Amino acid sequence: MNRKSFDIIVVGAGVGGYTAALKAAARGKSVALVEARLVGGTCLNVGCIPTKALLESSRALRTLRKASELGIEAGKVEARPEAMVKRSQSVVGVLRKGVEDLLARSGIEILKGSARLTAPNLVRVVSEEASLECEAGSIILATGSSWIDLPGIEIDEERIITSDHALGLGRIDGDMLVVGGGAVGCEFAEIYSALGSSITIVEMLEQLVPGEDTELARRLEAALKRKGIGVLTRTRVAGIDRTGERLTVRLDGADSIETDRVRLGVGRKPNTEGLGLEDIGLELEGNAIKVDSGMRTNIPGIFAVGDVTGKFMLAHVALAQGIVAGQNASGMDSVMEYEAVPRCVYSDPELAAVGLTESRARELGVDVSVHKVRLGQIGRALTMGETFGLAKVVYESGSGKVLGFHALGPHASELLAEVTLAIRSGLSVKDIAGTIHPHPTLSEIIWECADGALGDIARAT
């Protein structure tokens, strides 16, 4: 068997993995990056990027259909799903090529194949062509996650599909039941609804986007229903029966529904199987790899980042973890922080949040206050013709320290960076209110929330 040696081996070339590899290479380390499939992982190839490209197409479609509200007659508007998919894949290709070029320029060796740890410092890489034994001073595991299967339900990639298959827009007519009302479920409901599918979202918990602000989640549900998208919460899929060309979905909490297709997406699980982790004694937490704040596992020299750690299954968290792991594997002592993690749902309107919700803060025993501002009060929103929305700041009563920010509206995800920095830096609503915001912009809703909170504090003292 052939053998190679590196300072660091990274297993998995998703966002967390390639970021860790780049950070280590930047510090002069020899790095190998092992990937069985495509560089870029789930996010770039079948997740964030292609989905958002399709969402932009569906958003443009909806905008053209209501162009008359802006004084424009657009004529006949027709969607071309094949062209939408082609464009989304073109975007993916450009970005993937960019990452591959960056890795090459950084001197990182890409090893194609599946990896298995045979010792704390050894990785066996197996491909169709060969088997390679690689030795390293440090190993970073970034193997990502995969969709959770529902017991007794077989995915056939045609009528019962995951979001990976839905990216192809193979069939846009008829009915679709979307199982799972999280971010991905809401986003695919938007895409297929805009193209003409009759959509129903089924969510087993009490609200869409579970864990987010309840008021904003309910407003998002109302926005989806206004587009004709059905929403069933507190409802669980009990089974799916094939009846000819149709599917009958049996539900706990509601009557059965007949549909043409079902898109499954009830969450993801860390990819830890087949890595040989149990053979080397690496500790798991549930089905995820247990790590400390420096992304270190219980075995010296082995780190883990991204979805496989089970922390936050978000690409930007994987990137941040990759930075920490890449630096620490290179001799630094960086620390990962989770206090201010942005969370986005790219629906229409978008739902975006960072920090604590009001209910979560109260559960933690924090004395909090909230100030809300309606989107219709913002000049830029009025000029856009987008007034359905709301923002709220959650802050510590008395001190005004910012603890959370939640927004529903157009481009709400673009509002989070400022408040994320404020929370991470321990700033108060006074700091935000004292910062000049450009006018007219949607970002003024952040200022309005902070200024209003400042007034609330003054009146309370």
| Torsion sign (Cα): 279, 19, 105, 50 | positive
Active-site residue among 371, 406, 437, 439? 439
Q: In what order do the strands lie in the sheet with 402-409?
A: 343-345, 350-355, 402-409, 390-396, 368-374
What 8-state DSSP symbol labels residue 149?
Answer: P
Catalytic residue status for 439: yes
What are the DSSP calls for 333-369, one per residue? ------SS--EEE-SSSEEEEEE--HHHHHHTT--EE
What 8-state DSSP symbol labels residue 128?
Answer: S
What 8-state DSSP symbol labels residue 195?
Answer: T
Spatial contact of 405 and 449, defined as CB atoms under 8 Å apart: yes
CA-based nearest residue to 160, from 148, 177, 180: 177
Give the C-alpha separation, 57 to 194, whole Å. 9
| Torsion sign (Cα): 325, 326, 330, 335 | negative
What 8-state DSSP symbol labels residue 258?
Answer: E
Spatial contact of 289 and 282, defined as CB atoms under 8 Å apart: yes
| Amino acid occupying residue 421 | L
Spatial contact of 393 and 384, defined as CB atoms under 8 Å apart: no
From residue 394, how far is each of 212, 299, 355, 366 by CA, in Å? 13, 40, 9, 11
Give the C-alpha separation, 253 to 388, whole Å. 30
Give the C-alpha separation, 175 to 199, whole Å. 6
Apex 143 CA angle, 299 and 128, nearest 5: 110
Residues with active-site annotation: 439
